[in-house]
Structure 1
């Protein structure tokens, strides 16, 4: 009876490795080195391994080792950057920040403030909207140049009545050449704490909640 011929490279080299059902197996550094050493031990004395082939295998081993080292370095760098960013964010506690938002929080003591991004100059107006969608106050700031223009609302409606603290909508409107367009608004918030979670670093703002650290546009 003729013995079945196998193409198992590991068995041919004298390596008794446990077989699995996976279609492909990855070699670690230890496996690669053991494979190369076993190949040298079992080579045909009459047909020794060519030097260029041997050097090629060493180069492959070095490449595998180098890639793993590079991955470890990137992981270490990522950890360091995250720690540094966390320390910087912790220093923001007690400070105000600006972040893109269509709503802002009215503090009974400090009012509601924010900014409007203007791509070019024009007549700027900011509308404050309550929970029912009604405009309770319109703030006109006249002609403003390109850039971020800031606004502050004292918490009073058009009739001078003081409104309760809470969230209010903010609308930025810029008029140029008789045409009015909506503009991106920024809300101001007070940083109370910093958190590092699965989604990255976030700031907890008074009356607002969590805002991603990457969304912060300005410290005020």
Structure 2
């Protein structure tokens, strides 16, 4: 048994209007203003429905385009805000720091227990995103295992020290469409929103 529709289409409206005209009291015919008002009301409703359908199609098209663009990131490196980055099997960890102004930049690399395993003085840097790399070795030259390592950055400006946010650079393993939007599975970082990507490559 088919479920009865709960909405009126254009044909239904015109059929009702024709029936209303045919059965109106000839001594008290429908006022022209009332007739035009009903037509205008239907046109408005119909226009809104058409606009909603168009917006739905546009949203679907934009989402499909976004998914296609995100899928092209698989296998590529992205830069995202994070205090953790990934040391690869090749022995390289890449990161960045968003410098609000020029100053001396120092980055510490930390192990899983929070201990500093490498202190890197990157010298005086200008404002903007400064990228850096770590070869996976400690201060004594010991090579550490691949995996996730913490990052801390600070800027020395005169006699003042300022803590700065760090950025991680790592590879996209896969793309997933969830209720939170498009999410990237980034190696060593887990699930990251596409909107949180600072740079590609």
TM-score by length of 2: 0.89
The number of residue pairs the alignment matches comes to: 195
Q: Does the 8 Å CA contact 1:29/1:65 hold for their aligned counterparts? A: no
* Superposed displacement of residue 190, structure 1: 0.7
- Unpaired segments of 5 or more residues in structure 1? 1-26
Match of 1:29 in 2: 8
Q: Are 1:156 and 2:140 an aligned pair?
A: no
Structure 2 vs 1, CA of residues 140 and 54 (structure 1 numbering), >3 Å: closer, same or farther? same
Name which one, 1 or 2, has greater alpha-carbon Rg.
1
- 1:213 matched residue in structure 2: 194
Structure 2 residue matching 1:29: 3-state secondary structure: coil
Q: Residue by residue, what CA displacement relative to the aligned partner does 1:74-130 show, whole Å, maximum 9, x if unpaired?
A: 111111111111111121222111011111111131411111011111111111111
**Separation in structure 2 between the aligned mates of residue 150 and residue 175 of structure 1, nearest angstrom:** 17
Larger RCO, structures 1/2 (Cα 8 Å, 6+ apart): 2
Q: Give me the CA root mean square deviation.
A: 2.0
User: Which structure is higher in strand share?
Assistant: 2
Number of the residue aligned with 2:3: none
Which ranges in structure 2 are unaligned for 5 or more consecutive residues? 1-5
Counterpart contact for 2:177–2:183, Cα < 8 Å: yes
Contact 1:114 1:150 (C-alpha < 8 Å) held by counterparts: yes
